[in-house]
């Protein structure tokens, strides 16, 4: 009977806790998305820029078209005005920005991503969801591969190094850790120069060969195109990751209970699994999940350098076009993913860490 | 540890193995050596296969050409380092194009801004003097590293008007040549007249230093141009505030802002043209008068009454003949330089990069992407067949459909290869040449000024052109029938200013589309009907974005009719005129489109599932019709099945006289087979067909259309621009009493320039003060040689000093004129030595 009451109470506290967290996260998402809308539109000042741009484009189109060459200036200007009016209406620039921003917000919060204003998916769709979904696999594949590789290699190597503190390899890793000050795209440029131009072994960019081969050849081509960007990302973060995890494990490896286990003569693998990894599981999972949702954003410059058709370059184009729905679409999905991850982590902490329940009990008792 | 070492070793081996794998497909074939027989037999494109793939980084162009992975890049490159690398790379070559220009826009309000600050550029004389303050050669050679040519005038140095007016242009260029001392003197005089004073070398007005705000574009080489201009202005006593802005930030100030607010004095502007403009007379109204644009800056322009009147006449083409037009242009150029609300600085060159073993016709204005002849001239040097890869910064940027689909230059470049238009523009002169026409007859009413340059068409004048009653003038969307001139104008005859009779080549209607269907009159008629339907508010195909363009067309359109189908002869009437008869014919020749693919789009738009235009798609919240990829394909598949099932012929009442029942079934069957094999609905008739589209991977494949009617060498003579190279030989010093013989050689790639290609060669003689002292034509000596004798009497009239002889050549094969200068000095007669 006692355990059941305890579980019920714990679940009640947990539910209350989660509801509060959920509301807080929703408010956070709401504020974050609205700030994005305001910033992306420079508080509405983009409207003026767009009007100027629309007018200039309309004028140049009419001026360059031989069909209108014989028109008098007044007629031509009237034609330009009509074209401008149509475009202003299409982009709803005739409505106040405040109203539009609220409309953007309520749609975004409902995940109704709507239609892009300027951009299209590569296949030709104007729906923001299509545009994003089309680029998602490329980003997940590239960044997923690189980040998972970095994560597991870093954690595994760090555990190994934490047992060989002060050794030659350990000192080498420490020496190489500052190499991560340079971003992935920086290494990418050199890798392209070395392996695509000086010793042309690998393609300098793109996702597959053009035209794409079929079947197994497609997979091989894809792997060849991934080698350099993955190498660039791994190079830029592997040493500092190993260094960080190794330091983290070293701290935990010097805890009294670990020393006690060692003193008891327990095998080192058992000490790693039970006395180091288990207590550090929460931060490892946190790090892993945040790394996973980080995949969503891609990397603008790295994708540009490698001509990789991912979400980073999509966002870059959207900013260039000032395509607010696409920018909002990318941000709101990232915001929701982040919120869900944070909520999930809260839940996991509650399940993994008894102190969360104790905290609830303490509050209940007060 | 050992286990991990094995894992790491295996992974490393896999990576190395992957890197060392041969590329996932065989190396590109470069075809076989070309023989005259093989060339004569071959139809369509000169290569077999062309792949377009996305590549947006110009920095990699040279490397990719050198490694052989790419054979050309379609974007014009303006980067000076890339240009230098291309110039030095043995495996790379390039073509130059002249479509963009850099100028200095001046704020003319004043003499003071609203807040009382002085604006010196309100004074035309100060604006005019700026020409002499700017060293355009320095800008072109140093700041643009040779990727620019100096420009003084409101007309491009690469377009035909400049060649036609070369004498006037050259004289003006010399008049406004770099002379900072003269500029400073003029500006000082005018500044004092404005009440300014110069204290400690700095100009002051009402006790405050005169500070000029220079709006400098910071997103290209104009940043350096702006800095140079600022330095020049500071050198003559102005304080300069340099405001660096990108395009958007700058446009808020100089286009959208009120010039009287004084947020800027000068702006480093730029303009782009992707086609050769054969008539630039409109530029005077556009750039110097309030009629140019509705924005506040243009409304601040106050041209002299003479310039204003001339600009308006040129805009209306209000001149009796070509000679009068040239006289008006020459005077307008002079007045525009005096007005100088804009100072052109350079014409920018951009580079179209290609492999050194590749030859292709690049457009003088639009480069490779703007060339109409690239599909007909692309080849490996002296070889036939093979495959190539082109890099393009944008692919399938917007949905493709032939009615209102993607208008992006790089998409249009590809679709041009898939179409077979009746006429094609010469990439070096902009003049249209016949592709599917045998010849054309052009008739113009009295008062219409039009010139004919090529002999494939005839030109005659007629007092009055009456449009026949049976010509089609309109379309009744409600009843679905054509409206004739007789019905629309029962009151009496309708007249037109021009008539064009198009004589197509024999068997034109027997030629095939890429899917094997035979061409028909319906392919010409349906696009025309669709233009009316899309402008009719009662039609389900109505598109508000199409209406303004259509109304402009209706204003000048006066009817058309088909006189014969074998051979096909079409007659078109219009009130629209062009300076060139060739352009008029091109404007009147209908472009055929396969009616059976349009029919699917019509069905889809009527049912509210797809729309031809972006505007309509957004308005209705549906997809923009895309014939080559995306969600449209599934919808089109349904409509193809439906159309095939019920033998659907759009606007059947109008089209059925031209389409037999069997043709309907045959067309849809052919399209079905085409879609099954190619996976898309783009059916063309050009020298290439669209073989495959990979939108997600960013590539597409074109293959040679083997049933193309023309031999592959049809346009090879236009593979390269026939730019003349001029050199002079003659004495550098002439003694008084002597005559001088100056020789001019005109060559191209070391060979004499063909005499038949030369339009005219003229010379201008300037004395030591830069005054025009003589003009005329040199005498031909044969084999690309010309001679000019300056006799003693003429030289004596020049006086002692340094003189300049300028030769100007205009060619019929390229719009760019050729220039050569010969500088020489005349010495005074030697005085007799004094006796001791």
Task: Let me know: does B814 contact B364? Beta carbons within 8 Å.
Answer: yes
**B697:A207 CB<8 A:** yes
Q: Please state, in angstroms and as integers, the Cα–Cα distance from residue B18 to each residue in A229, A316, B178, B710, following that order.
A: 14, 31, 61, 45
pLDDT at A295: 66
| Among candidate residues B122, B124, B123, B129, the one with its CA nearest the CA of residue B107 | B122
Is the omega angle on the peptide bond into residue B40 within 30 degrees of 0, that is, cis? no
Bond preceding residue B567 cis, omega within 30 of 0: yes
What local confidence, expressed as pLDDT, does residue B23 receive?
Answer: 56
Pairwise CA distance, residues B628 & B693, whole Å: 7
Q: For B370-382, how does the pLDDT look when each residue is reduced to its tens digit (9 = 90+)? A: 999 999 999 999 8
Mean pLDDT value of segment B416-425: 95
Return the ∠ at Cα A319 (arms to B402 and A327), rounded to 5°: 90
Q: Which pLDDT band, with edges at 50, 70 and 90, does B12 fall under? A: confident
Which of the pair, A40 or B700, is modelled with greater confidence?
B700
B783, B768 contact by CB (below 8 A): no
Q: Please choose, from the candidates B271, B576, B338, B325, the residue with its C-alpha nearest in 3D space to the C-alpha of residue B444.
A: B576
**Is B615 in Cβ contact with A90 (below 8 Å)?**
yes
Q: How confident is the model at residue B46 (pLDDT cuts 50, 70, 90)?
A: very high
Q: List, for residues B290-307, the tens digit of each pLDDT value.
A: 988 888 899 899 999 999
* Closest residue in A to B630 (Cα–Cα): A123
Mean pLDDT of B750-769: 88
Distance of alpha carbon B78 from alpha carbon A41, whole angstroms: 31
Cα Rg of chain A (Å, integer):
27
Nearest to B436 by CA among B589, B658, B593: B589
CB contact under 8 A, A227 and B621: no
pLDDT band at B330 (very low <50, low <70, confident <90, very high): very high
Task: Provide, as residue numbers in chain B, all residues whose Cβ is less than 8 Å from the Cβ of A48.
Answer: 252, 256
- A75–B552 CB contact, under 8 Å: yes
Q: Residue A362 pLDDT > 70, yes or no?
A: no
DSSP B140: I
Q: Above 90 in pLDDT, residue B799?
A: no
Residues 6+ away with beta carbon under 8 Å from B7: none
Instruction: Report the relative pairing of strands B72-73 and B387-392 from DSSP bridges.
Output: parallel
Q: Which residues of A touch B316 (CB under 8 A)?
A: 72
Q: How far is A204 from chain B (nearest CA, A)?
A: 9
Q: For an interface test with A, which of B552, B581, B612 has the most A Cβ atoms less than 10 Å from its Cβ?
A: B552
Task: Name the strands in the sheet holding B437-445, side by side, starting at the edge strand that comes first in the sequence.
Answer: B457-462, B437-445, B498-504, B568-574, B557-565, B472-476, B481-484
Which of B303, B413, B287 lies closest to B361, judged by CA? B413
The SS3 call for residue B391 is strand
Looking at A123-127, A150-154, B783-787, which range is the least confident one?
A123-127
Domain topology for A135-321? MetI-like fold (1.10.3720)
Q: Chain A within 8 Å of B255 (Cβ-Cβ)?
A: yes
Q: Rounded to 5 degrees, what are φ and ψ at B346?
A: -145, 155
Per-residue pLDDT reduced to its tens digit, B542-590: 998 888 888 888 888 999 999 999 899 999 999 888 888 999 999 999 9
pLDDT, residue B39, reads: 87
Quote the tokens at residue B464: 């009055």
Closest Cα to residue B534, out of B555, B557, B552, B550? Answer: B550
**How many whole angstroms separate alpha carbon A151 and alpha carbon A144?**
10
Helix then strand then coil, in percent of chain B rounded to 5, is 35, 30, 40
Tokens of A32: 């974050």
Smallest CA-to-CA distance from B53 within B75, B77, B70 is with B70
How much is the pLDDT for A363? 45
What is the enclosing helix (H) or strand (E) of B451?
A: none
What is the C-alpha to C-alpha distance for residues A199 and B16, in angstroms, rounded to an integer? 13
The larger pLDDT score, comparing residue A363 to residue B624, is at B624
Mean pLDDT of the residues in chain A = 83
- pLDDT at residue B833 is higher than 70: no
Cis geometry, peptide bond prior to residue A211 (ω within 30 degrees of 0): yes
Residue B311 CB contacts under 8 Å (≥ 6 apart), including other chains: B284, B285, B288, B289, B291, B303, B332
Tell which B residues from 580 to 599 touch A, by Cβ distance under 8 Å: 583, 587
Q: Which of residues 368-427 of B touch A (CB under 8 A)?
A: 389, 396-400
Give me the pLDDT at residue B327, please.
94
> In terms of Cα–Cα distance, which of B125, B132, B210 is closest to B175?
B132
Residue A43 confidence class, pLDDT cut points 50, 70, 90: confident
Confidence band, pLDDT 50/70/90 cuts, at residue B468: very high
Per domain, the residue ranges of chain B are 27-91+366-417+686-712, 98-348, 432-664, 725-827
The confidence score (pLDDT) of residue B293 equals 83
Between chain A and chain B, the number of residue pairs with CB atoms below 8 A apart is 190
Q: Between residues B231 and B794, which one has the greater pLDDT? A: B231
- Top mean pLDDT of B25-39, B328-342, B727-741 is at B328-342
What residues of chain B lie within 8 A of the CB of A68, using their CB?
552
Which pLDDT band holds residue B2 (cuts at 50, 70, 90)?
low
* Structure letter (DSSP) for residue B122: G
Question: Residue A69: its pLDDT value, please?
Answer: 72
Burial class (CB in 10 A: 0-12, 13-18, 19+), B224: middle
Nearest CB neighbour to A124, from listed B275, B389, B626:
B626
Of B18, B69, B696, the CB nearest to A227: B18
Owner of token pair 């093979």: B386
Q: Determine contact, residues A283/A248, Cβ cutoff 8 Å.
A: yes
* Proportion of chain B above pLDDT 70, given as a percent: 98
Question: Residue B746: which pLDDT band, with cuts at 50, 70 and 90?
Answer: very high
Residue A364 pLDDT > 60: no
Length of chain B: 836
pLDDT digits (tens, 9 = 90+) for B229-248: 999 999 999 999 999 988 87
- Return the CATH number of the domain spanning residue range B98-348: 3.10.105.10
Chain A CA closest to residue B627:
A124
Best A63, A70, A205 member to test B by mutation, with max B CBs in 10 Å, is A70
Task: Characterize the bridge pairing of strands B779-782 and B772-776.
Answer: unpaired
∠ CA A270-A272-A276, nearest 5°, is 125
pLDDT, tens digit, 9 for 90 and up, residues B104-114: 999 999 899 99
CB contact (8 A) between residue A125 and residue B630: yes
Q: Decide if pLDDT at B744 tops 70.
A: yes
Residue for token pair 């322009």 = B301
Give CATH for domain B725-827: 2.60.40.1220
- The mean pLDDT of A40-69, rounded to a whole number, is 80
Predicted local distance difference test score (pLDDT) of residue B17: 78
* Cβ-nearest to B15 among A115, A227, A307: A227
Query: Which residues are CB-neighbours of B504 under 8 A, at least 6 positions away?
Result: B422, B436, B437, B438, B567, B568, B569, B570
pLDDT tens for B813-829 read 888 888 888 999 988 76
Establish if B19 touches chain A: CB-CB under 8 angstroms: yes
Say which of B547, B577, B624 has its CB closest to residue A70: B577
Residue among B53, B291, B400 whose CB faces A210 most closely: B53
Q: Quickly list DSSP for B566-596.
A: TTEEEEEEES---SBHHHHHHHHSPPP--HH
Residues 6+ apart with CB under 8 A from A27: none
Integer Cα distance of A125 and A107 in angstroms: 19
> Is residue A164 within 8 angstroms of chain B, CB to CB?
no
Q: How far apart are the CA of B227 and the nearest CA of chain A, in angstroms?
A: 25
Residues 53-72 of A with CB under 8 A from B: 53, 55-56, 59-60, 63-64, 66-72
Percent of the residues in chain B that have a pLDDT greater than 90, as a whole number: 61
Q: What is the mean pLDDT of chain B?
A: 90
Q: Residue A124 is nearest to which of B279, B317, B629, comparing CB atoms?
A: B629
Indicate the SS3 state at residue A114.
coil
- Give the C-alpha separation, A211 to B316, whole Å: 51
- Kindly list the domain boundaries of chain A, sorted by start residue: 135-321
Tell whether the model's pLDDT for residue A4 goes beyond 60: no
For residue A301, pLDDT over 60 is answered with: yes
Smallest Cβ–Cβ distance between A210 and the set B295, B630, B697 belongs to: B697
Determine, for residues A209 and B24 on separate chains, whether the beta-carbon distance falls below 8 Å: yes
Q: Which of B415, B368, B364, B407 is nearest to B391 (CA)?
A: B368
Under the banding of pLDDT at 50, 70 and 90, the label for residue B536 is very high
Closest-approach residue (CA) in chain B for A58: B293
Choose the closest CB to B294 out of A77, A122, A196. Answer: A77
| Residue among A51, A58, A69 with most chain B CBs within 10 A, to mutate | A69
Which residue of chain A comes nearest to B1, CA vs CA?
A: A160
pLDDT tens digits, B470-479: 999 999 988 8
- Residue B605, H or E segment: helix B595-606
* Contact between chains at A121 and B630 (C-beta distance less than 8 A): yes
């Amino acid at each position: 009977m006692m355990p059941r009451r305890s579980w019920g109470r714990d679940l009640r506290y947990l539910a209350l806790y989660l509801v509060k967290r959920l509301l807080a996260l929703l408010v956070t998402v709401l504020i974050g998305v609205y700030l994005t809308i305001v910033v992306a539109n420079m508080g509405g000042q983009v409207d003026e820029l767009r009007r100027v741009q629309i007018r200039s484009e309309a004028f140049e189109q009419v001026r360059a078209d031989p069909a209108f060459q014989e028109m008098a200036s007044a007629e031509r200007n009237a034609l330009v005005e009509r074209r401008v009016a149509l475009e202003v209406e299409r982009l709803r620039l005739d409505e106040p920005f405040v109203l539009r921003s609220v409309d953007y917000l309520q749609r975004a919060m409902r995940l109704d991503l709507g239609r892009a204003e300027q951009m299209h998916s590569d296949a030709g769709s104007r729906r923001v969801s299509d545009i994003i979904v089309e680029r998602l696999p490329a980003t997940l594949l590239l960044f997923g591969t690189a980040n998972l590789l970095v994560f597991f290699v870093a954690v595994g190597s760090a555990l190994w190094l934490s047992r060989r503190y002060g050794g030659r390899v350990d000192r080498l890793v420490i020496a190489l850790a500052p190499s991560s000050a340079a971003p992935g795209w920086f290494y990418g440029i050199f890798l392209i120069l070395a392996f695509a131009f000086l010793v042309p072994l690998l393609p300098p960019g793109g996702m597959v060969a053009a035209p794409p081969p079929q079947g197994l050849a497609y997979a091989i081509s894809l792997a060849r195109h991934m080698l350099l960007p993955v190498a660039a990302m791994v190079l830029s973060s592997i040493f500092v990751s190993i260094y960080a995890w190794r330091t983290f494990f070293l701290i935990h490896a010097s805890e009294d209970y670990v020393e006690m286990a060692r003193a008891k003569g327990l095998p080192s693998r058992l000490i790693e699994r039970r006395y180091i990894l288990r207590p550090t599981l929460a931060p490892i999972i946190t790090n892993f999940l945040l790394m996973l949702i980080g995949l969503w954003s891609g990397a603008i410059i790295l994708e540009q350098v490698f001509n990789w058709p991912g979400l980073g370059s999509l966002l870059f184009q959207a900013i260039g076009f000032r395509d607010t729905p696409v920018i909002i679409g990318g941000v709101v999905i990232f915001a929701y993913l982040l919120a869900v991850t944070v909520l999930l982590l809260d839940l996991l902490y509650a399940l993994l860490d008894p102190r969360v329940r104790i905290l609830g009990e303490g509050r209940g008792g007060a | 540890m050992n286990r991990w070492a094995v894992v790491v070793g295996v992974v490393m081996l896999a990576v190395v193995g992957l890197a060392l794998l041969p590329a996932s497909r065989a190396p590109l074939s470069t075809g076989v050596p070309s023989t005259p027989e093989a060339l004569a037999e071959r139809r369509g494109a000169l290569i077999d296969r062309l792949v377009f793939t996305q590549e947006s980084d110009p920095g990699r162009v040279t490397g990719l050409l050198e490694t052989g992975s790419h054979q050309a890049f379609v974007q014009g490159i303006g980067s000076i380092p890339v240009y230098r690398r291309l110039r030095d790379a043995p495996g790379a070559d390039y073509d130059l194009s002249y479509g963009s220009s850099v100028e200095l826009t001046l704020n003319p309000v004043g003499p003071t801004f609203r807040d009382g600050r002085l604006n010196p550029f309100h004074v035309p004389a100060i604006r005019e003097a700026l020409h002499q303050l700017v060293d355009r050669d320095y800008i072109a050679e140093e700041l643009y590293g040779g990727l620019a040519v100096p420009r003084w005038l409101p007309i491009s140095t690469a377009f035909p008007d400049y060649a036609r007016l070369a004498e006037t242009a050259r004289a003006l260029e010399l008049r406004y040549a770099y002379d900072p001392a003269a500029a400073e003197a003029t500006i000082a005089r005018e500044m004092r007249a404005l009440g300014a004073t110069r204290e400690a070398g700095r100009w002051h007005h009402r006790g405050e230093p005169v500070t000029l705000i220079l709006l400098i574009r910071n997103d290209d080489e104009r940043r350096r141009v702006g800095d140079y201009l600022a330095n020049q202005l500071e050198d003559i006593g102005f304080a300069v505030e340099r405001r660096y802005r990108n395009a958007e930030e700058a446009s808020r100030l100089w286009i959208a802002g009120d010039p009287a607010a004084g947020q800027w004095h000068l702006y480093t502007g730029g303009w782009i043209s992707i086609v050769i403009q054969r008539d630039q007379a409109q530029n005077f109204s556009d750039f110097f008068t309030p009629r140019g644009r509705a924005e506040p800056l243009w409304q601040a322009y106050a041209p002299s009454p003479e310039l204003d009147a001339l600009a308006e006449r040129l805009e209306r083409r209000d001149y009796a003949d070509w000679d009068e037009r040239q006289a008006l242009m020459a005077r307008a150029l002079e007045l525009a330089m005096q007005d100088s609300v804009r100072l052109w600085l350079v014409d920018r060159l951009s580079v179209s990069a290609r492999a050194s073993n590749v030859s292709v016709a690049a457009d003088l204005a639009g480069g490779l992407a703007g060339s109409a002849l690239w599909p007909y001239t692309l080849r490996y040097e002296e070889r036939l067949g093979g495959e190539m890869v082109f890099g393009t910064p944008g692919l399938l940027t917007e949905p493709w459909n032939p009615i209102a689909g993607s208008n992006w230059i790089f998409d249009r470049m590809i679709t041009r290869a898939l179409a077979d238009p009746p006429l094609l523009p010469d990439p070096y002169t902009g003049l249209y040449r016949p592709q599917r026409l045998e010849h054309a007859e052009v008739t113009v009413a009295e008062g219409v000024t039009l010139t004919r340059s090529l002999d494939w068409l005839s030109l005659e004048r007629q007092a009055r052109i009456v449009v026949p009653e049976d010509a089609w003038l309109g379309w009744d969307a409600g009843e679905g029938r054509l409206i004739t001139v007789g019905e629309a104008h029962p009151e009496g005859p309708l007249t037109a200013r021009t008539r064009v009779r198009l004589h197509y080549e024999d068997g034109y209607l027997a030629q095939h589309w890429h899917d094997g269907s035979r061409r028909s009159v319906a392919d010409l008629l349906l696009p025309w009907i669709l233009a009316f339907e899309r402008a009719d508010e009662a039609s389900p195909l109505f598109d508000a974005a199409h209406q303004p363009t259509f109304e402009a067309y209706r204003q000048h359109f006066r009817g058309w009719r088909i006189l014969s189908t074998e051979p096909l002869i079409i007659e078109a009437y219009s009130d629209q005129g062009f300076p060139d008869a060739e352009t008029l014919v091109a404007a009147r020749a209908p472009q055929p489109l396969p009616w059976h693919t349009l029919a699917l789009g019509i069905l889809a738009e009527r049912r509210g599932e797809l729309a031809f235009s972006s505007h309509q798609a957004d308005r209705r919240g549906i997809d923009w019709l895309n014939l080559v990829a995306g969600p449209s394909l599934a919808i089109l598949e349904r409509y193809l099945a439906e159309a095939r099932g019920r033998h659907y012929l759009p606007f059947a009442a109008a089209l059925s006289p031209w389409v037999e029942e069997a043709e309907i079934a045959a067309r849809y069957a052919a399209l079905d087979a085409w879609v099954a094999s190619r996976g898309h609905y783009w059916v063309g008739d050009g020298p290439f067909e669209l073989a495959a589209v990979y939108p997600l991977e960013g590539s597409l494949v074109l293959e040679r259309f083997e049933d193309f009617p023309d031999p592959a060498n049809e346009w090879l003579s236009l593979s390269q621009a026939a730019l003349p190279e001029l050199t002079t030989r003659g004495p550098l010093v002439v003694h008084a009493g002597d005559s001088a013989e100056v020789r001019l050689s005109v060559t191209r790639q070391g060979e004499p320039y063909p005499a038949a290609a030369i339009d005219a060669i003229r010379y201008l003689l300037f004395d030591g003060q830069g005054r025009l002292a003589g003009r005329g034509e040199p005498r031909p000596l044969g084999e690309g040689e010309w001679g000019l004798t300056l006799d003693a009497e003429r030289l004596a009239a020049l006086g002692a000093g340094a003189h300049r002889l300028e030769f100007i050549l205009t060619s019929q094969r390229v719009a760019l004129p050729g220039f050569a200068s010969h500088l020489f000095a005349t010495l005074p007669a030697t005085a007799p030595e004094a006796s001791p």
